[in-house]
Amino acid sequence: MFSYRHAFHAGNHADVLEHTVLIATLDHLLEKEAALTVVDTHAGAGLYRLDGDYAGTSGEAADGVLRLLSDKKEPAAPAPAAKSATKKVAAETEAPLADAIARYLAVIGDFNPKGGARVYPGSPFIVQHLLRDHDKLKLFELHPTDARTLDANIAQLEAGRQIAVLREDGFGSATKFLPPPSRRALVLMDPSYEMKTDYGRVLDFTAEALKRFATGTYAVWYPIIPRPEAHDLPRRLKTMATKAGKSWLHATLTVKSSKITKDAASGETHRPGLPASGMFLINPPYTLKPLLAAALPQLVQRLGQDRNAAFSLDSGG
């Protein structure tokens, strides 16, 4: 249950998608003066070193945020494509960054004033960085090591009562903060999904949260992997939102094939790692879809690793 450590995956393509969506959502919600409460059900350690042992072991940031930062300095090489499409692809990669991507990289830059990305902020630090003094942040983390690290990282902010760190099961406890006094909240759910039961718990938690606070904004990150539960999750969330009469938005980013291959010479099996991920939002800001419509094609061009790179963007309600 406690084997997953996000430090190995910090700054990868899934983080790029999740945090681009998170920042764009927060920017809109924070335009209103009334206080906002943000609840993070699986906060992790909060802050990560991309030059440390964990991130260095996996090297996933190299094909995520670090590639975006590199492309910002010089035009990105086009992703594999048919010859007839090469000129079009090259033109797209040389185009100015979409607003949502530029905003995401600006926030990452705020944590790295000397340039580059030695430090990568997880969702707790991204949220805290954007919140105003009268907003609140509730962080849940059960992993013993990550919870201690999160405590220590948050303590450095000296944020006082603005941030609460709870060593509790977010799925079991977070609804106690709904609805918040201001009747404005964003709830982020991004468990590891190492256990198949996480998919069902996302659905159960979201259903209960909607009963308690129907007008809150709910954001769910999930991995797109060859597992029935992963493909059922967005479909069931869409059904839930539709039955509740709520608007929804579903965005996915695929960077490579999910197929397991075998090297003919060595006979070694190659597992591709996480090929894709998605974000599903209930009661999303109306500004989010156009921002993602511009950003997702660029993320495919800049982060795509083979011809299977693609995106999808749907909404309803």
Render pLDDT for 218-237 as a digit per residue (tens, 0 to 9): 999 999 999 999 999 999 99
Reported confidence tier of residue 316, pLDDT bands at 50, 70, 90? very high
Please say if the pLDDT value at position 264 is more than 90: no
Q: Report the pLDDT averaged over residues 45-52.
A: 89
Looking at residue 95, its pLDDT comes to 80
Looking at residue 298, its pLDDT comes to 98
CA 177/CA 172 separation, integer angstroms: 12
Cβ atoms of 29 and 22 closer than 8 Å: no
What mean pLDDT, rounded, does the chain reach?
89
What burial class does residue 64 get, using C-beta atoms within 10 Å of its C-beta: 0-12 exposed, 13-18 middle, 19+ buried?
buried
Looking at residue 59, its pLDDT comes to 78
Q: Report the pLDDT averaged over residues 59-85.
A: 69
Please say if the pLDDT value at position 267 is more than 70: no
Looking at residue 2, its pLDDT comes to 45
Cβ atoms of 169 and 29 closer than 8 Å: no
Reported confidence tier of residue 81, pLDDT bands at 50, 70, 90? very low
Task: Give the predicted TM-score (pTM) of the model.
Answer: 0.90
In three-state secondary structure terms, 83 is: helix
Cβ atoms of 226 and 296 closer than 8 Å: no
CA 285/CA 29 separation, integer angstroms: 7
Looking at residue 5, its pLDDT comes to 57
Please say if the pLDDT value at position 271 is more than 80: no
More confident residue, 272 or 100: 100
Cβ atoms of 137 and 111 closer than 8 Å: no
- Catalytically active residues are 190
Question: Strand 248-254 vs strand 276-282: parallel, antiparallel, or unpaired?
Answer: antiparallel
Please say if the pLDDT value at position 121 is more than 90: yes
Reported confidence tier of residue 270, pLDDT bands at 50, 70, 90? low
Least confident range from 198-212, 215-229, 248-262, 286-300: namely 248-262
Looking at residue 1, its pLDDT comes to 46
Q: Report the pLDDT averaged over residues 107-132.
A: 95
In three-state secondary structure terms, 280 is: strand
More confident residue, 9 or 134: 134
Looking at residue 147, its pLDDT comes to 93
Please say if the pLDDT value at position 87 is more than 60: no
Cβ atoms of 128 and 157 closer than 8 Å: yes
- Looking at the chain, the whole-number percentage of residues with pLDDT higher than 70 is 86
Helical segments of 111-193, H only: 123-130, 144-155, 170-173
Looking at residue 58, its pLDDT comes to 60
> In whole angstroms, how far apart are CA 224 and each of 109, 138, 244, 254, 281?
28, 27, 25, 8, 16
Nearest Cα to 300, choosing from 253, 245, 235, 252? Answer: 253
Cβ atoms of 312 and 250 closer than 8 Å: yes
DSSP classification of residue 101? H
pLDDT tens digit sequence for 157-168: 999 999 999 999
Cβ atoms of 209 and 59 closer than 8 Å: no
Query: Looking at 63-193, which runs of residues are DSSP E strands?
Result: 119-121, 136-140, 163-166, 185-189
Cβ atoms of 237 and 248 closer than 8 Å: yes
Please say if the pLDDT value at position 66 is more than 90: yes
Cβ atoms of 280 and 247 closer than 8 Å: no
- Looking at the chain, the whole-number percentage of residues with pLDDT higher than 90 is 77
Give just the sign of the alpha carbon dihedral 299, 25, 316, 97.
Answer: negative
Reported confidence tier of residue 116, pLDDT bands at 50, 70, 90? confident
Looking at residue 71, its pLDDT comes to 78
